[in-house]
Amino acid sequence: MTNAVTAKKKFAQLATNRFKFSLYLLSKLPAAFFSGVSVISLHDNTCSVKVPYKWFSQNPFRSTYFACLAMAAELSTGMLAMLQVKGVEQPVSMLVLEMKAAFHKKATGNTVFTCLDGELLAEMVNKAVTTQQPQTCIVTSVGLNDKGEEVAVFTITWTFKAKA
């Protein structure tokens, strides 16, 4: 196995190990840790992230605060992007360029955001490495409540640039 494949595999294992990922969140994204955000699944093409409705993530209107929803949506796309970046030999920087959201229903329980755009992200990361030119990628994360109803849809634009 190449170093990139090993790094990708280790990252996927970290993300799905609840204890290790909690430590990772506490050190790198403390707001996500305290909000109770967790990765449910991470595969090459899909990632699902849950944000619960609880004291730390609520707003005065008895629903999940929009910033917590945005954090979970961004993390569902960002984990996929990081997985793809770990899968290449050359270091690649990644950054959110833009985020758009549409809210359809009040989030009053667990909301699970799922991104299915791993293949597109892999293509853009590989293109950034191959061409040595920055690449932009627009991905979508859909948030569903416990009843399977659509709560929100986030469209996030990622940029990737191969490091020299």
What percentage of the chain carries pLDDT values higher than 70? 94
* 160 has pLDDT over 60: yes
- Check: CB of residue 139 under 8 Å from CB of residue 120: yes
Give the global pTM.
0.89
Phi then psi dihedrals of residue 3, to 5 deg? -60, -40
Using CA atoms, how far residue 14 sits from 40, 140, 142, in Å, is 12, 23, 23
SS (H, E, C) 100-133: EEEECCCCCCCEEEEECCHHHHHHHHHHHHHHCC
pLDDT digits 0-9 by tens, 106-130: 999 999 999 999 999 999 999 999 9
User: CATH: 1.25.40.10, 3.10.129.10, 3.50.50.60, 3.40.1190.10. Which one for 3-162?
Assistant: 3.10.129.10
Digit-coded pLDDT (tens) for 52-74? 988 877 878 888 888 999 999 99
In the chain, domain spans: 3-162
